[in-house]
């Protein structure tokens, strides 16, 4: 395997695909879509996948209880005690499969969703219930049930491998790609989330995302903990000691987040309603240890005029036509005294001086809150080709757990990283994610992270005075400089003689070629 193909394969893993059964299942399901819009089809498929998962987990426990003479397999409390959703008879996958070819299958599925919501309060108002609509081909719906029924998802063995999580995440990514901008509103590419999580290292505490989309930040935070079970920060704990808080204004996306977290057994406080974090902050008193977010880029419809005098705008009122610095200040407002924030913004946030944005950014820098800036490569998102950057804020750079970095900001230029996974989409490889995060941890002085050093073209630790000299523009390229040229060992004088001789040869060849072209033109009666 070539180095480039190997890198591409590792990058594909970052997005939830293993190019195995997930892709096979997607291709088969996509064939059944016919002329249905991806945005509509998404909820049909993901709802059925969720139903298969809860049914699998239930059936495994049900079989175990039937073997226990002292237990009642039809007692809902037996399941809820072990964090397994109770699935009434009319909602079990065996019932759906037996009726998959019936013309009433749409109503049967809707009734199943209603029954699960009725008996599991945490799912109230979450599951899709529109399978019986006239425009949905019931034959294809039955075929979809047969297809999803081929994969075991919710039993203990497959839960340990996160089979459903992999399928769910891969399908979210594929739907985001199919939908374009509309899909990208709720799906942040996995490699981008991984960079944020690996850099912030949320081992324990309160994690907050006020624009949580489908919940990817939370899922990756839990995965981070699980991948560090042997220690290295979390004391070897097998479970994440995290309290999760989120909010999402889009009802459809809020439902996706609830399902995405439920299939992984992640308990999260996403609020009981889908409203804007700006106008209806559901976690007003929260002070989070970690803020992870990918807010809508350059959002002009955020009720800015109504909130001109809001207490959150400590560094200046954000422009009504762009919510970027409203989000930044919202994040700061919710940070605990030793909290960290990592979030995605468009590149314009690093340099814009429009409508007072430059002055707000200056005040944030002068308050010594900007810990690190990362310039990301293009083509990472399904929804936009706008180049993006990652901001990392720290409320207390004198935190006793890290090196004292007061008055300094780390700049990382990762624009040349990533591999193309198709003609228009790029992903970061595992090695690149480790390099970016490792550089940040070394700079902070994290235990075992190694020694930090500036590297031209990639990273630079800049003093506040230098940032001020650049007009408080935070674009990493201004600070890291150009990558040092590799020394090939050839003395300068010898190299210049060789290059000059090569140039003269090429010039002589050019003269000969010009003569040949002129002769041919003359033969064609186009010469002088």
**Cα(481)–Cα(460) distance, integer angstroms:** 9
> How would residue 103 be classed by pLDDT, with cut points 50, 70 and 90?
very high
Please state, as a whole number, how many other Cβ atoms lie within 10 Å of the Cβ of residue 389.
Answer: 22
What are the residues facing 206 on neighbouring strands? 243
Pairwise pLDDT comparison (117 vs 38), residue with the higher score: 117
Q: Of 9-13, 268-272, 328-332, which has the strongest mean pLDDT?
A: 328-332
> How would residue 196 be classed by pLDDT, with cut points 50, 70 and 90?
very high
Scan for tokens 């920060």, then name that residue: 233
Q: Is the pLDDT of residue 385 over 80?
A: no
Q: Is the pLDDT of residue 465 over 90?
A: yes
First to last CA, the chain: 56
Compute the average pLDDT of residues 54-78: 91
pLDDT tens for 5-61 read 444 444 444 444 344 567 777 777 787 787 777 777 878 888 898 898 889 889 999
Least confident of 186-195, 290-299, 363-372: 186-195
Pairwise pLDDT comparison (219 vs 414), residue with the higher score: 414
Please state, as a whole number, how many other Cβ atoms lie within 10 Å of the Cβ of residue 178.
Answer: 17
Compute the average pLDDT of residues 260-267: 80
Least confident of 37-46, 58-67, 90-99: 37-46
Q: Is the pLDDT of residue 291 over 80?
A: yes
Continuous segment of H or E residues that includes residue 106 = helix 105-119
Q: Is the pLDDT of residue 231 over 70?
A: no
> How would residue 421 be classed by pLDDT, with cut points 50, 70 and 90?
confident
What is the reported pLDDT for 27? 77
Query: Are the CB atoms for 363 and 316 separated by under 8 Å?
Result: yes
What is the reported pLDDT for 237? 53
What is the reported pLDDT for 108? 97
Classify the C-alpha dihedral 104-110-114-116 as positive or negative.
Answer: positive
What is the reported pLDDT for 14? 42
Query: Are the CB atoms for 292 and 194 separated by under 8 Å?
Result: no
> How would residue 285 be classed by pLDDT, with cut points 50, 70 and 90?
very high
Continuous segment of H or E residues that includes residue 370 = strand 370-375
Rg (CA), the chain: 28
**Residues making up the chain, counted from first to last:** 528
pLDDT tens for 505-520 read 899 888 988 888 888 8
The two beta strands, 426-427 and 419-420, are antiparallel
The two beta strands, 288-293 and 204-209, are parallel
Q: pTM for this one?
A: 0.78
What is the reported pLDDT for 463? 97
**Cα(25)–Cα(20) distance, integer angstroms:** 9
């Amino acid at each position: 395997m070539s180095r480039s193909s190997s890198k591409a394969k590792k990058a594909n893993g970052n997005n939830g695909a293993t190019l195995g059964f997930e892709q096979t299942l997607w291709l088969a399901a996509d064939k059944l879509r016919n002329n249905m819009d991806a945005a509509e089809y998404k909820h049909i498929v993901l709802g059925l996948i969720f139903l298969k998962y809860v049914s699998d987990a239930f059936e495994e426990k049900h079989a175990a209880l039937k073997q226990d003479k002292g237990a009642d397999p039809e007692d809902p409390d037996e399941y809820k005690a072990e964090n397994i959703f109770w699935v009434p008879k009319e909602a079990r996958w065996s019932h759906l499969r037996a009726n998959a070819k019936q013309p009433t299958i749409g109503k049967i599925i809707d009734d199943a969703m209603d029954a699960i919501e009725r008996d599991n309060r945490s799912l109230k108002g979450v599951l899709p219930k529109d399978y019986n609509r006239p425009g949905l081909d019931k034959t294809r719906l039955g075929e979809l049930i047969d297809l999803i029924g081929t994969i075991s998802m919710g039993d203990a063995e497959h839960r340990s491998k996160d089979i459903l999580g992999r399928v769910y995440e891969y399908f979210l990514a594929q739907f985001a790609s199919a939908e374009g901008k509309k899909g990208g509103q709720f799906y942040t590419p996995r490699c981008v989330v991984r960079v944020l999580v690996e850099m912030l290292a949320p081992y324990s505490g309160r994690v907050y995302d006020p624009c949580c989309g489908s919940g990817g930040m939370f899922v990756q935070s839990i995965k981070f903990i699980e991948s560090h079970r042997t220690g290295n920060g979390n004391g070897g704990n097998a479970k994440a000691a995290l309290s999760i808080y989120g909010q999402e204004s889009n009802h459809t996306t809020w439902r996706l987040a609830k399902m995405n977290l439920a299939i992984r057994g992640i308990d999260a406080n996403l609020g009981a309603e889908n409203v804007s974090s700006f106008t209806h902050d559901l976690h007003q008193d929260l002070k989070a240890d970690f803020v992870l977010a990918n807010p809508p880029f350059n959002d002009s419809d955020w009720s800015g005029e109504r909130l001109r005098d809001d207490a959150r705008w400590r560094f200046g009122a954000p422009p009504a036509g762009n919510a970027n610095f409203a989000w930044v200040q919202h994040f700061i407002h919710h940070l605990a005294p030793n909290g960290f924030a990592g979030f995605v913004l468009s590149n314009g946030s690093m340099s814009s001086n429009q409508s007072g944005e430059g002055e707000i950014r200056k005040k944030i820098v002068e308050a010594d809150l900007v810990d690190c800036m990362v310039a990301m490569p293009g083509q990472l998102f399904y929804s936009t080709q706008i180049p993006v950057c990652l901001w990392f804020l720290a409320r207390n750079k004198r935190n006793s757990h890290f090196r004292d970095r007061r008055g300094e900001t780390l700049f990382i230029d990762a624009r040349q990283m990533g591999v193309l996974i198709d003609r228009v989409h790029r992903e970061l490889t595992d090695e690149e994610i480790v390099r970016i995060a490792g550089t940040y941890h070394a700079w902070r002085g994290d235990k075992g992270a190694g020694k930090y050093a500036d590297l031209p073209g990639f990273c630079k630790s800049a003093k506040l005075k230098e940032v001020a000299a650049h007009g408080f523009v935070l674009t990493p390229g201004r600070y890291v400089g150009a990558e040092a040229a590799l020394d090939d060992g050839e003395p300068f004088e010898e190299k210049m003689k060789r290059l000059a001789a090569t140039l003269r040869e090429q010039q002589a060849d050019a003269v000969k070629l010009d003569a040949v072209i002129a002769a041919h033109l003359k033969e064609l009666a186009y010469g002088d």
